[in-house]
Amino acid sequence: SAVISQKPSRDICQRGTSLTIQCQVDSQVTMMFWYRQQPGQSLTLIATANQGSEATYESGFVIDKFPISRPNLTFSTLTVSNMSPEDSSIYLCSAAQDRRGYEQYFGPGTRLTVT
C-alpha cells in the first residue's frame, strides 16, 4: 500500500484567485490521479498526472483551469485557477503502483470553499 498526504487539508479562497494543492506519496508509484468530489456526490476523475510530461485530462477538464505537475514519481500538484464558487469541492489525489487493475490509494483530500 501507499500512504498519501495532501496539503492543504482545507482552504477558503476568494473568487478569482488560484490554489495549488500538493500530493506526496511515501513510495514511488507509476500512476497518480486527481479527482474532484462535489458535496454528496461520487468521485470524478480530473486527470492522470504523468511524470515528466503533460497530464491527461478527462472530458470537461482543461489544463488552463487545472494545471497539473508531476516532477517525479512521488509528488504531484494540482492548481485550481481563477476559482469560482462552483469549484467548491473536495479534491483528492490518488496513486496506484501500476497501470491497470491495481487498487488506488487515496489521500485525505483537500476541502476547498470558494467565496
User: What residue ranges bind other proteins (CB under 8 A)?
Assistant: 1, 31, 33, 41-43, 45, 48, 58, 90, 92, 94, 99-109, 111
Give the nearest distance from C-beta 94 to other proteins in angstroms.
Answer: 8
Q: Determine contact, residues 11/115, Cβ cutoff 8 Å.
A: no
- In the complex with other proteins, the residue whose CB is nearer, 39 or 85, is 39
Give the nearest distance from C-beta 26 to other proteins in angstroms.
Answer: 15
Among 20, 28, 43, 26, CA closest to 97: 28
- In the complex with other proteins, the residue whose CB is nearer, 20 or 38, is 38
Say what the alpha-carbon torsion angle 51, 53, 56, 57 is, to the nearest 10 degrees. 110
* Residue 83: CB atoms within 10 Å: 21
- In the complex with other proteins, the residue whose CB is nearer, 40 or 85, is 40
Give the nearest distance from C-beta 43 to other proteins in angstroms.
Answer: 5
Give the nearest distance from C-beta 82 to other proteins in angstroms.
Answer: 26
- In the complex with other proteins, the residue whose CB is nearer, 18 or 38, is 38
Distance between CA atoms of residues 112 and 79, nearest Å: 12
